[in-house]
Structure 1
Amino acid sequence: MENFTVKEGKTMAIISYITWIGTLIAFIMNNDKRNSFASFHIRQTIGLTVFYVVNIFIIGRFGGYWISGPISLILFVFWIIGLVGAAQGEEKKIPLIGDLFQDWFKGIA
């Protein structure tokens, strides 16, 4: 990836990891001028958000919080990995599920 592309999209990539509102803001900012680095991280964040919502509202409700608690902790660690990757200017995929996010949301960002 070109250094200019990373430098230009780094702010949007970092903003995308700041709650779902940050993801929405980064998505809107990235619509004007598509940046592949920012798009990568926006897709990762959208995937994490979807998994988090499913974990809280479905697994937490029907499977119990003994199951959803550890899953939330794992998702938090994945969020940290993504945020650090964005801050370092790397396209670091989230372990285990990052490829899925890139495939599922390739048309979004």
Structure 2
Amino acid sequence: MDIKTIEEGKSTAITSYILVVGVLIAMSMNSEKRNAFASYHIRQALGLSILFVAIGYTLSGFSADAPEILLPFWLCMTVLWGYGLYTAISGQMRPMPIIGTLCQKVFKTIGA
């Protein structure tokens, strides 16, 4: 991928990692003029957001008195979000550990 494409899609890619609503904003930003770099990161962020909501909903049944359950969840999500944001800022297209390749396969029609 050329540098021009990366620079044009960088702001959209970064926006996609702003919590759950950032994915929707980034999809809107990328809808007219599709950018492959932005689409890649939108798919990554969408998968991460869905995972966050699904696991968060499941863990919401546990009380806040159970940090041994909630702390690893928050730590893992923070590390994955930080990794995704770092790769978007640095202009890289590396999949997130564990879920990145699956996100690209499942959401392949987004931004295509």
- Write out aligned runs for 1:20-99 (5 A): 20-61=20-61, 66-99=68-101
Output one character per residue of 1:43-86: Cα deviation in whole Å (capped at 9) or x when no partner. 01001101111111013426x76334312211110100000100
Percentage of matched positions with identical amino acids: 44
Q: Secondary structure at the match of 2:108?
A: coil
Cα separation, 2, equivalents of 1:99 and 1:60? 27
Consecutive unaligned residues in structure 2, runs of 5 or more:
none
Deviations 1:75-98 (A, max 9, x none): 110100000100000012111110
Aligned CA-pair RMSD: 1.7
Write the distance in 1 (CA, Å) between the matches of 2:95 and 2:59. Answer: 24
Distance across 2 between alignment mates of 1:65 and 1:57: 16
Larger relative contact order (Cα-Cα within 8 Å, sequence gap ≥ 6): 2
Q: Using the alignment, how far apart are the partners of 1:102 and 1:16 within structure 2?
A: 15
SS in 2 for 1:32: coil
Residue segments in structure 1 that go unaligned for 5+ positions in a row: none
CA distance in 1, matches of 2:39, 2:50: 16
Paired residues, what number?
Answer: 109
CA contact (8 A) 1:60 1:67 kept: no
Runs of 4+ in 1 over 4 A off after TM superposition: none
Please give the TM-score of this superposition, normalised by the length of structure 1: 0.90
Aligned position for 1:102: 104
